A and B are shown apart, each in its own frame.
Chain A
Amino acid sequence: MISIRDLRKVYRQGEREVVALDGIDLTVPTGAVHGIIGHSGAGKSTLVRCLTLLDRPTSGSVSIDGSDLSTAADRDLLQARRRIGMVFQHANLLDSRTVLGNVAYPLEVTGQDKAARTARARELLGLVGLEDYESSYPSQLSGGQRQRVGIARALASDPRVLLCDEPTSALDPATTDGILELIRDLSDRLGLTVVVITHEMHVVKKICTSVSLLDRGRIVEGGALTEVASDLGSRLSAALLPLPEAALDTAGSLVEVLGQGPAADVPVSAVIKDRFGHGVRVLAGSVEDLAGVRFAHHLLALPDGADDRTDGTEAVVAFLEQNGYRAAQRTRTQVETAQGTAQDLGGAQ
C-alpha cells in the first residue's frame, strides 16, 4: 500500500516561489493499478521525483507498507529506493551493457554474486518475453523491447511498488497496448501495487482500477474507475467517456445522459418516447466498457419548446434520474468545455 500525505514541493526560482505540488493526499491499496493523469505542467514529473526521492519533498510524507520514505536518512535512502521499481518513459537503459547486464544492474549494486544475479536476470527476461535477447545491446532493440527490458530491470530488486512514468508515451499504439497488458499482467501475478503517471486517458482505461486527476499540483478528482466515470459532469468522466464531436444544430435544450450496467443496454430515446410521447434526437453517443462495466453516454436534443411544457426538460431529467440514469441539462458552452477537457486529457475520439 502506498500512502501519500499532504505532499508539498516548493521550488525557488530566484525571488519567486513556485508551488509544484500543493498538498497531495493519495492512498493506493495493495494490488491496485492507479493512474495519475494530468496535462503537462500539472506537476506529474515533480510527483515522480518526490515519490522516488530523487527530490526531497518540502513537506508531507510518502510511505510504502507503513514505512515512511520521506524521513529516511541518506544512508537508508538507498534501501528505501529499492522498494520502488521504476519504469521510465525512455527506458533509460545503460547503452554500454547487454540486456542481461542491464537487468542484473540493480542486483549488482546490492552486492549479489554473479551467478545469482545472472539466474535472476534470466528469469525476469523470461517474464517479459525477451529470453532470446540477453546478449543484445539496447541499441539493437525496438522501443517496445527496450521498455520490456526496463520493466524487467524495475522488478529485479523485488519491489512492492512499480512506478511507471509515462511508460508508453514514446511508443506506437500497437506496442503501447502490449506494454500495458504486460504491466497489468505482472501486477496480477506478482501482487504489485502499480502507479502509472500519464497524460493519456487511453492508458488509464486500458489498465487502471482507479485514477486521480492532477491539476496545478493538486489532486482535484479521483476514485475507482467506474465511480469517477459515472460522476456525470466531472472532468474525468468527460475524458473517460468522451462523446464524438456533435453538430449542435438544434433550437431545443440539450440533455446529457449516462447509463451504466443494465441501463446502458436500453436505448434511452425509446425510454423517453414511451414515457412522454415525444421523440428526442441523439446528437452524439458512445458505448464503452470500463473495468468490466458498460457505460452508454449520450447527448440528446429535446424538441424545440419542450422547456415551456409540463413534460419539458426538467421533467425528462428527473424521470431519467429516477430510472437509473445520470442526466443533466447542458448549455452549449458546457458541451464544448467537456469536449475540450476530453481532448486535453487525451481521451477524445
Chain B
Amino acid sequence: MNWFQELLANPALTEALPEALVETLVMVGIAGVFTLVIGLALGVILHVTAPGGLRPVSWLHVLLSAVINVTRSIPYAILMVALIPFTAWLVGTSIGPIAACVSLTIGTAPFFARLVETSLREVPSGTVDAARVMGSTRGQIVRKVLLPEAMPGLVASITTTLVMLVGYSAMAGLIGGGGLGRLAYNYGYQRFDTAVMIATIVIMVILVQLIQWVGDRIVRAVDHR
C-alpha cells in the first residue's frame, strides 16, 4: 500500500485537484448555461429566417450564418487568446474561471446554434403545415411544435456541446482560466508529476462519461418517435 499512501501525501492531489475540479465545473456550468441560451436563440432565428422558413428574412439569415461560420472557423486556442482584451473589458479581468467563460461561450455558442438549426430542420414540414392550418401563430409554432418535436435532437446536441466545453475548458486553463487543464499542465507537465497527470485524465474521462450517460437517458425519456 506504499503507492497509495504516497498519493494521499501528495498535496497536488489532495488540495489542488479538488479545487481545480470545482473550477472546471464552474466554467462548464456557467459557460454551458450561456451557450445553451444564446445558441438556442441563434439556432431558432437561423431556422425561422431561412428561405422557406416561418418568417424568411434573408439578410438576417445570411448575416447570422456568416458570423457563425467565421467564429466557428477560428480554432479555440487562438480565439481565447484573441479575446483577452474583450474579456478584460467585459468582466474586469482576463484571469480565472469566470473570465474563461467569456471565450468559452463565444467559442461554443455558434457550434450549438448550428446543431439546434439542424435539429429543427428535421421536424417534418407536414407537421409545421398542420400547425399552421390549425391557426397557430409563429411564436406558438416555435414553442409548441418545433422545439418539443425536436427535443430528442436538441438534448443530444446539448450533450455534445457540454462534452466539447469540458475539452475547451481544459485549454482555457492554460491561459489563466484555472481548472483541471492548468493542474495537468502545471503539475503533470512542468513538474513531471505523472500521478497528477493520470488523475486529471481519469477525472476528465469520468466527467465526459457522466455527461454522455445523463444526456442519453434524457434523450430516451423525451423521445416518443
Query: Which A positions have Cβ atoms within 8 angstroms of B?
Result: 52, 54, 78-79, 81-82, 84, 86, 88, 90, 92-97, 105-106, 108-110, 137-139, 153, 157
Contacts and interface: CB of A to CB of B under 8 A. Distances in A.
Given A94-B149, A95-B225, A96-B149, A82 B134 contact: yes
Interface stretch (B12-20, B125-133, B185-193, B200-208): B125-133
23 contacts: A52-B133, A78-B135, A81-B135, A82-B135, A86-B133, A88-B129, A92-B124, A92-B130, A93-B130, A94-B127, A94-B131, A94-B149, A95-B149, A95-B225, A96-B222, A96-B224, A105-B131, A106-B134, A109-B136, A109-B137, A109-B140, A110-B135, A153-B134
A139 B224 contact: yes
A88 B126 contact: yes
A226 to B, nearest CB: 33
A94 B134 contact: no
B196 interface: no
A16 B21 CA distance: 64
B145 interface: yes
A105 B145 CA distance: 10
A54 B136 CA distance: 12
Contacts of A79: 135
A94 B137 contact: no
Chain B, interface SS category: helix
Contacts of A88: 126, 129-130
A220 to B, nearest CB: 28
A81 B148 CA distance: 23
Contacts of A52: 133
B126 A81 contact: no
Most buried by A among B124, B126, B151: B126
B121 interface: no
Contacts of B224: 95-96, 137-139
Contacts of B220: none
A86 B132 CA distance: 11
A109 B136 CA distance: 6
Interface string B132-154: 11111100100011001101000
Given A108-B144, A109-B140, A86 B130 contact: yes
Contacts of A54: 129, 132-133
A88 B130 CA distance: 8
Contacts of B149: 94-96
